[in-house]
């Protein structure tokens, strides 16, 4: 039997706060440990020849957290970009980002855009951060982008199709994830990639993100390869 190809894995990195609480540490230390884990899973994804790894790093809803926590998370993102861009260059990994990036603080946004530009020609895989991201926001932004394009052209908007609407999403060239992984055991998708996850396989683990390593990532891939994907149809 031919092994199923996995081009794109998406991950909801959940459990940083609980990890910190279990270890008697401030919540930001859980987020810091979680940020370090990105390198581990990125390497595992590259070894597995996965083309795209999308990580849910900061949602549109996360802005509702305390100002102190949001500020700490933004500072951590800046630190991550400073520390990890040389690693991405060395490993030939391209960085991209999806979401309402204009909502990010200027310092974070500037470093992010410079990192995206610096890694644009890398070819060994793509790491996509979902930042200030919400699935509903992406759909709304896509509709508005479509209407704005029609208005600028001076033509009446044509009837949307799935294909034409897809071209209005944040990253229309990226294939839908075959597999979505959620750590920490929560059984919801939390407004993540609502359009793209329509027929993705889900793998949920009780392991908290800071403890989610290469071995369990490999287990998630193996679990996916055992499944039959019907896409709404019946198997013969």
> Which residue reads 């390869």 in tokens?
225
Q: Give Cα 66 to chain centroid, integer Å.
A: 23
Cβ-count burial of 39 within 10 angstroms (0-12 exposed, 13-18 middle, 19+ buried)?
A: middle
- 62, 122, 176, 191: the active-site residue: 62
Longest dimension (CA), the chain: 60
Q: Has 14 been annotated as catalytic?
A: yes
Closest-CA residue to 111 (of 77, 86, 137, 61):
77
Q: Annotated catalytic, 51?
A: no
Enclosing H/E stretch for 130:
strand 126-133
**Residues designated catalytic:** 14, 62
């Amino acid at each position: 039997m031919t092994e199923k190809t996995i081009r794109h894995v998406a991950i909801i990195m959940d459990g940083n706060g609980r990890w910190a609480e279990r270890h008697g540490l401030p919540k930001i230390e859980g987020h810091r440990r979680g940020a370090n884990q990105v390198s581990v899973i990125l390497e595992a994804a590259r070894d597995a020849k996965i083309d795209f790894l999308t990580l849910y790093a900061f949602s549109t809803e996360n802005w509702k957290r305390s100002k102190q926590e949001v500020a700490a998370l933004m500072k951590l993102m800046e630190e991550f970009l400073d520390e990890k861009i040389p690693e991405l260059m060395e490993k030939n990994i391209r960085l991209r980002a999806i979401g309402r990036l204009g909502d990010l603080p200027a310092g974070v946004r500037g470093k992010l855009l410079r990192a995206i530009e610096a890694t644009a020609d890398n070819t060994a895989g793509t790491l996509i951060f979902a930042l200030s991201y919400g699935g509903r926001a992406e759909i709304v932004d896509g509709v508005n982008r479509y209407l704005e394009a029609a208005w600028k052209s001076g033509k009446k908007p044509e009837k949307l199709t799935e294909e034409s609407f897809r071209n209005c999403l944040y990253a229309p060239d990226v294939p839908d994830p075959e597999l979505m992984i959620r750590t920490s055991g929560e059984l919801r998708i939390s407004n993540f990639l609502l359009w793209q996850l329509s027929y993705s396989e889900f793998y949920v683990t009780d392991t908290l993100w800071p403890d989610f390593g290469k071995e369990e990532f490999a287990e998630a891939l193996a679990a996916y390869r055992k499944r039959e994907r019907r896409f709404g149809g019946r198997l013969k």
